[in-house]
Amino acid sequence: MKTGSYLGAVVIGGLLLSAGQQAAAQGGDSMDRMGANDLGGVVGSANGPEAGVWVIAETGDLPTKFTKIVVTDERGRYLIPELPKANYSVWVRGYGLVDSPKVRAAPGKVLDLTAVLAPSAAAAAEYYPPIYWYSMLKVPAKSDFPAGPVKTQPEWVNQIKTSGCMSCHALGTKGTRTMPKDFAQFKSSAEAWGRRIASGQAMTQMTTALGRLDPQRALALWGDWTDRIAAGELPFDKPSRPQGVERNIVLSLWEWSTPTGYMHDLISTDRRKPTVNAKGKLYGATEESTDYFPVLDPNTHTAGQIKHPVRDPKTPSSKTAPMAPSPYWGPEPIWDSQTSIHNQMMDEKGRVWATARVRPPANPDYCRKGGDHPSAKVFPLESANRHLSMYDPASGKFTLISTCFPTHHLIFAEDANGTLWASNGVTGPGAFGWLNRKMFEETGDEVRSQGWTPFILDTNGNGRRDEWVEPNQPVDPTKDKRVQVSLYSINVNPIDGSVWGTSMGFPGHVVRVAPGPDPTHTAITEIYEPPFPGYGPRGGDIGRDGVFWASLASGHLGKFDRSKCKGPLNGPNATGKHCPEGWTLYRFPGPQFRDVQDDGSVEASYYTWVDWFDAFGLGKNVPIASGNMSDAYFALVDGKWVTLRVPYPMGFYAKWSEGRIDDPNGGWKGRSLWATYSTRTVFHNEGGKENRPRVVKFQLRPDPLAR
């Protein structure tokens, strides 16, 4: 038997080598193009050359762990360009396969690889993105509603996706579709799920999200889901391999931060001018995990950390958050952040601005009712849980800015004041604010340099802001109306300076604010509700053409073009439902829940970013949405999806995107898209507790063998 197996392996190996040599002999092969720092060859299996599979090269020889990944072409050929000098472990991963044995290799070599066909459907499914597993979750039928506080099935789906569970991590990863052994003592999986979501310092957020559903029914459904998977049930759909331009993607990954840290975002350049900080360092936003935010130098493959300070030692810390013991980390807290650095932006000087907590939440008197700040006289604010900061890499110094308004995401305008606008989050006080950066840098006066405004609809239709009625009062045709929305994402239309964003909820809204000459007193708001089957906006962005794009919990990318609105944009009827004709919905890739018949996908996209300047290479104003259930980004090019998949380590979950142009004349090598793994539960990813967040650099070459 051993002899027969050995001879069979030799014969198959000989056939693969022959197939590789035959492919290499044809024109334009990877070996002809290889340089001293490249690695290339042919991937084959018992089925012949393997097209559309990934070749992964990873090394621990550099200051931080480094990985480079490419896709094979239609003949199974691959070429990994410009590998740093080191020894690498190289293997093949692909749908329909299991990982091949790791081979040690160095750049400059021809390395043919043998792919391993999956021995069973179950083995193949272990490599599927989370969406294929989460689509197996049962969803209550439409006839079952209302269910607890939830009135409809779409509202339920919204809550188990981007407005609830998937706002911090993906469900369907290996770490979530299986139950930790620590919980084996519970009488049922539903009971185990109830204990599971109380684990760790996110307990309050997790249990609050559960409370928005019918809790016992939701726990029973999640318990049933993990029980069926444990019994051997497999996804009813499966992913396809990269096709076309998707095979031209080159991925470079670096580890940064720590196993207990997690990122919300990263920043590498000025959104308005993506050549700023060319080839420079990247900075991460660590939110509730730690005050030490990571810095990556991709040139030296070095990752470090910088501690973000606070003004007041009494600033709250995530370390005191209530928790039950974690099956991964035990009873001790692993997060200890006072600053809660959420989102960063870089200015034209390469300085890093952040929404960060710098003091306790209670506001100074000038912000509050009776305060003398001009904005407080219009709309007083009692507290702010997050503020602003600026880090200057040149000096290594921080500037901490106390704001009366809460901050969440931030964006620079292209105006004379360099205005920094800030959203206020998932929920908020009904107002949002800004910093006049020019004034602040000239005077250092943080009080005079900031302002905020409530959201006021021009419901009397006279084109200006007047006295208003409150959100709980009916529309008065002689007055305007204040609405209780909350900007989650925030963007500035470069055409007219209007401020745009999303307001989460069901069905949620896209919000436009025209600031006017004195935003505190003149800002006028418009709100637009996505038409069904679209609902649940989260992150959104605007193109330089004025078109707004939003990630929707319904499993769509929503496009809103205000110029297509046929009716009045203000007046008594302009309260959200007045422009369905401005919307176009694009269904995200991936399956829908079997119990949901409405159009859509299980995909729970967190954020959409628009590539203003073709920093990646798919074109200007291309929207790129995070595929948080799919280990991917999704780019919409001429109405068709291009999937930018990260196959390793499994669990890629991005929030913000970042395009940088290192060399405008450098072709594909001078352009890139940057991301970081942004899941809160890094330990749910492939690699477990030893895993760290990673930076991912996406590049798009002209063909799969370009170097």
Antiparallel, parallel or unpaired: β 499-503 and 509-514: antiparallel
The b/e string for 423-435 (b: 16+ C-beta within 10 A; e otherwise) is bbbeebbbbbbbb
Distances (CA, A) of 98 to 129, 344, 389, 663, 684: 14, 38, 46, 38, 20
- For residue 132, pLDDT over 60 is answered with yes
The reported pLDDT for the residue numbered 29 is 55
- For residue 164, pLDDT over 90 is answered with no
What integer is the mean pLDDT of 305-332? 97
- The strand pairing partners of 695, in sequence order, are 254, 676
> CB–CB of 248/669 below 8 Å?
no
- For residue 11, pLDDT over 50 is answered with no
CA–CA gap between residue 251 and residue 506 (Å, rounded): 36
DSSP secondary structure letter of residue 100: P
Task: Tell me the per-residue pLDDT of 25-39, one tens digit each, with 9 for 90 and over.
Answer: 433 455 677 899 999
Query: Quick one: pLDDT band at residue 604, thresholds 50, 70, 90?
Result: very high
CA–CA gap between residue 497 and residue 259 (Å, rounded): 41
String of DSSP letters for 260-328: T---SEEE-SBTTBTTTTTT--EEEE-BTT-SEEEEEETTTTEEEEEEPP-S-TTS--GGGS--BPBTT
CA nearest 672: which of 341, 253, 292? 253
> CB–CB of 578/567 below 8 Å?
yes
> CB–CB of 425/342 below 8 Å?
no
Give kind and range of the element (H or E) at residue 557.
strand 556-560
CA nearest 101: which of 111, 86, 88, 116? 116
CA–CA gap between residue 623 and residue 556 (Å, rounded): 13
- The strand pairing partners of 97, in sequence order, are 117
The reported pLDDT for the residue numbered 31 is 63
What integer is the mean pLDDT of 312-340? 97
Token code pair at residue 247: 């095979």
- For residue 578, pLDDT over 70 is answered with yes
The reported pLDDT for the residue numbered 520 is 98
Task: Tell me the per-residue pLDDT of 22-71, one tens digit each, with 9 for 90 and over.
Answer: 444 433 455 677 899 999 999 999 999 999 999 999 999 999 999 999 99
The reported pLDDT for the residue numbered 32 is 72
Give kind and range of the element (H or E) at residue 227.
helix 215-230
CA nearest 176: which of 216, 137, 215, 121? 137
Give kind and range of the element (H or E) at residue 378.
helix 374-378
> CB–CB of 114/45 below 8 Å?
yes
Percent pLDDT > 90 in the chain is: 93
What integer is the mean pLDDT of 423-441? 96
The reported pLDDT for the residue numbered 24 is 41
Number of Cβ within a 10 Å radius of residue 411: 24
The reported pLDDT for the residue numbered 12 is 34
- The strand pairing partners of 541, in sequence order, are 549
CA–CA gap between residue 89 and residue 102 (Å, rounded): 6
- For residue 19, pLDDT over 80 is answered with no
The reported pLDDT for the residue numbered 162 is 86
What integer is the mean pLDDT of 195-222? 95
The reported pLDDT for the residue numbered 562 is 98
What integer is the mean pLDDT of 368-392? 98
Query: Quick one: pLDDT band at residue 447, thresholds 50, 70, 90?
Result: very high
The reported pLDDT for the residue numbered 17 is 41
Q: Is 124 helix (H, G, I), strand (E, B) or coil?
A: helix
Task: Please give the radius of gyration of the chain, using alpha carbons only, rounded to the nearest integer.
Answer: 26
| Average pLDDT over the chain, rounded to an integer | 94
Sheet holding 387-392, edge to edge: 343-346, 352-356, 387-392, 397-401
DSSP secondary structure letter of residue 15: H
What integer is the mean pLDDT of 160-184? 90
Percent pLDDT > 70 in the chain is: 96
String of DSSP letters for 28-70: T-HHHH--TT-EEEEEEETTEE--S-EEEEEESSSSS-EEEEE
String of DSSP letters for 560-613: E-GGG--S-SSSTT-SSSS-GGGEEEEEPSSPPPTT--SS--S-----EEEETT
The reported pLDDT for the residue numbered 166 is 79
What integer is the mean pLDDT of 173-180? 95
CA nearest 576: which of 444, 485, 498, 671? 485
CA nearest 206: which of 216, 214, 196? 196
What integer is the mean pLDDT of 270-277? 98
- For residue 609, pLDDT over 50 is answered with yes
Name the region of 507 (left: φ>0; alpha: ψ -120 to 50; beta: rest).
alpha
CA–CA gap between residue 58 and residue 91 (Å, rounded): 9
Query: Quick one: pLDDT band at residue 544, thresholds 50, 70, 90?
Result: very high
The b/e string for 438-455 (b: 16+ C-beta within 10 A; e otherwise) is ebbeeeeebeebbbbbbb
Query: Quick one: pLDDT band at residue 5, thresholds 50, 70, 90?
Result: very low
First vs last C-alpha separation in the chain? 45
Query: Quick one: pLDDT band at residue 601, thresholds 50, 70, 90?
Result: very high
What integer is the mean pLDDT of 684-706? 96
Distances (CA, A) of 260 to 139, 332, 654: 33, 12, 17
CA torsion, points 215, 221, 222, 225, in degrees to nearest 10? 180
Number of Cβ within a 10 Å radius of residue 645: 23
The reported pLDDT for the residue numbered 491 is 97
Give kind and range of the element (H or E) at residue 252.
strand 249-255
**The whole model's pTM is what?**
0.95
- Which residues are CB-neighbours of 438 under 8 A, at least 6 positions away? 416, 417, 418
The reported pLDDT for the residue numbered 20 is 41
